[in-house]
Amino acid sequence: MKLEMLKAKLHQACVTHAEVDYEGSLGIDIELMEAVGIHPYEKVLVSNINNGNRLETYAIAEPFGSRRIVLNGAAARKGVVGDRIIIMSFCWVDEANVREGRHRPRVIRLDEHNEPVKRIPQSPTTEEVATMFEG
Protein backbone atom coordinates (compact mmCIF):
# COMPACT_ATOMS: atom_id res chain seq x y z
CA MET A 1 0.00 0.00 0.00
CA LYS A 2 1.14 3.58 -0.63
CA LEU A 3 0.48 6.44 1.77
CA GLU A 4 0.34 10.13 0.90
CA MET A 5 2.88 11.77 3.19
CA LEU A 6 4.28 15.23 3.82
CA LYS A 7 7.37 15.68 1.64
CA ALA A 8 8.33 19.30 2.24
CA LYS A 9 7.19 22.29 4.29
CA LEU A 10 8.13 25.95 4.52
CA HIS A 11 6.63 26.96 7.86
CA GLN A 12 5.57 30.56 8.58
CA ALA A 13 6.66 31.98 5.22
CA CYS A 14 5.74 35.66 4.91
CA VAL A 15 3.84 36.82 1.81
CA THR A 16 5.91 39.56 0.14
CA HIS A 17 3.73 40.24 -2.92
CA ALA A 18 0.19 39.54 -4.13
CA GLU A 19 -0.54 39.93 -7.85
CA VAL A 20 -4.18 39.31 -8.81
CA ASP A 21 -3.57 39.94 -12.52
CA TYR A 22 -1.00 37.16 -12.83
CA GLU A 23 -2.19 33.90 -14.43
CA GLY A 24 -1.88 31.96 -11.19
CA SER A 25 0.42 30.01 -8.92
CA LEU A 26 2.61 30.61 -5.88
CA GLY A 27 6.01 32.21 -6.41
CA ILE A 28 8.71 30.97 -4.03
CA ASP A 29 12.38 31.93 -3.83
CA ILE A 30 14.11 29.06 -5.68
CA GLU A 31 16.73 28.85 -2.92
CA LEU A 32 13.98 28.04 -0.40
CA MET A 33 12.36 25.60 -2.82
CA GLU A 34 15.65 23.74 -3.25
CA ALA A 35 16.26 23.71 0.52
CA VAL A 36 13.12 21.61 1.13
CA GLY A 37 12.88 19.84 -2.24
CA ILE A 38 9.90 21.57 -3.85
CA HIS A 39 10.20 21.56 -7.64
CA PRO A 40 9.00 24.23 -10.09
CA TYR A 41 5.41 23.47 -11.15
CA GLU A 42 4.93 21.00 -8.30
CA LYS A 43 1.51 21.01 -6.65
CA VAL A 44 1.51 22.68 -3.23
CA LEU A 45 -1.01 23.16 -0.45
CA VAL A 46 -0.94 26.60 1.15
CA SER A 47 -2.46 27.36 4.55
CA ASN A 48 -2.79 31.01 5.61
CA ILE A 49 -2.08 31.31 9.34
CA ASN A 50 -3.63 34.80 9.53
CA ASN A 51 -7.07 34.06 8.09
CA GLY A 52 -7.37 30.26 7.89
CA ASN A 53 -7.71 30.17 4.09
CA ARG A 54 -6.29 27.11 2.33
CA LEU A 55 -5.60 26.65 -1.36
CA GLU A 56 -3.95 24.28 -3.79
CA THR A 57 -1.83 25.62 -6.60
CA TYR A 58 1.62 25.01 -8.07
CA ALA A 59 5.00 26.46 -7.24
CA ILE A 60 6.96 28.70 -9.58
CA ALA A 61 10.50 29.89 -9.02
CA GLU A 62 11.27 33.42 -7.87
CA PRO A 63 14.87 34.69 -8.09
CA PHE A 64 17.48 32.90 -5.99
CA GLY A 65 17.98 34.64 -2.64
CA SER A 66 15.14 37.14 -3.23
CA ARG A 67 13.09 35.72 -0.33
CA ARG A 68 9.97 36.47 -2.40
CA ILE A 69 6.76 34.61 -1.59
CA VAL A 70 4.12 35.71 -4.10
CA LEU A 71 0.41 34.90 -4.16
CA ASN A 72 -0.54 35.08 -7.85
CA GLY A 73 -3.91 35.14 -9.62
CA ALA A 74 -6.83 33.75 -7.64
CA ALA A 75 -4.43 32.85 -4.80
CA ALA A 76 -3.87 36.60 -4.28
CA ARG A 77 -7.45 36.80 -3.00
CA LYS A 78 -6.62 34.32 -0.21
CA GLY A 79 -4.12 36.56 1.57
CA VAL A 80 -2.32 39.88 1.70
CA VAL A 81 1.29 41.03 1.95
CA GLY A 82 2.53 40.32 5.45
CA ASP A 83 0.39 37.22 6.04
CA ARG A 84 2.22 34.18 7.36
CA ILE A 85 1.60 30.98 5.41
CA ILE A 86 2.55 27.32 5.49
CA ILE A 87 3.61 25.83 2.14
CA MET A 88 3.44 22.04 1.91
CA SER A 89 4.05 19.40 -0.74
CA PHE A 90 3.27 15.70 -0.51
CA CYS A 91 4.44 12.43 -2.03
CA TRP A 92 3.36 8.81 -2.20
CA VAL A 93 5.47 6.46 -0.11
CA ASP A 94 5.37 2.70 0.31
CA GLU A 95 3.91 1.87 3.71
CA ALA A 96 6.93 -0.32 4.49
CA ASN A 97 9.24 2.69 4.10
CA VAL A 98 7.07 4.67 6.51
CA ARG A 99 7.00 1.83 9.07
CA GLU A 100 10.77 1.46 8.86
CA GLY A 101 11.36 5.18 9.32
CA ARG A 102 12.86 5.72 5.86
CA HIS A 103 10.55 8.62 4.99
CA ARG A 104 11.33 11.95 6.63
CA PRO A 105 9.92 15.28 5.38
CA ARG A 106 12.17 18.30 4.91
CA VAL A 107 10.86 21.21 7.01
CA ILE A 108 12.22 24.72 7.49
CA ARG A 109 10.71 27.46 9.66
CA LEU A 110 11.17 30.99 8.32
CA ASP A 111 11.29 34.38 10.04
CA GLU A 112 9.33 37.48 8.97
CA HIS A 113 11.94 38.16 6.23
CA ASN A 114 11.75 34.58 4.92
CA GLU A 115 15.16 33.75 6.28
CA PRO A 116 15.51 30.19 7.56
CA VAL A 117 15.62 30.17 11.36
CA LYS A 118 15.28 26.48 12.07
CA ARG A 119 15.31 23.16 10.34
CA ILE A 120 12.60 21.34 12.24
CA PRO A 121 13.83 17.93 13.39
CA GLN A 122 12.60 15.09 11.29
CA SER A 123 9.70 13.02 12.54
CA PRO A 124 10.53 10.21 14.94
CA THR A 125 10.52 6.62 13.76
CA THR A 126 7.78 4.23 14.87
CA GLU A 127 10.19 2.75 17.40
CA GLU A 128 11.02 6.19 18.82
CA VAL A 129 7.31 7.00 19.16
CA ALA A 130 6.70 3.67 20.92
CA THR A 131 9.36 4.46 23.54
CA MET A 132 7.70 7.82 24.26
CA PHE A 133 4.68 5.98 25.70
CA GLU A 134 6.48 3.37 27.75
CA GLY A 135 6.09 3.26 31.54
Residues marked active site are found at 25, 58
The residues near 58 (Cβ < 8 Å, ≥ 6 apart) are 25, 26, 41, 42, 43, 44
In the DSSP assignment, the letter for residue 38 is P
Please provide the distance, in angstroms rounded to a whole number, between the alpha carbons at the two ends of the chain. Answer: 32
Q: Which of 49, 51, 41, 65 is nearest to 14 (CA)?
A: 49
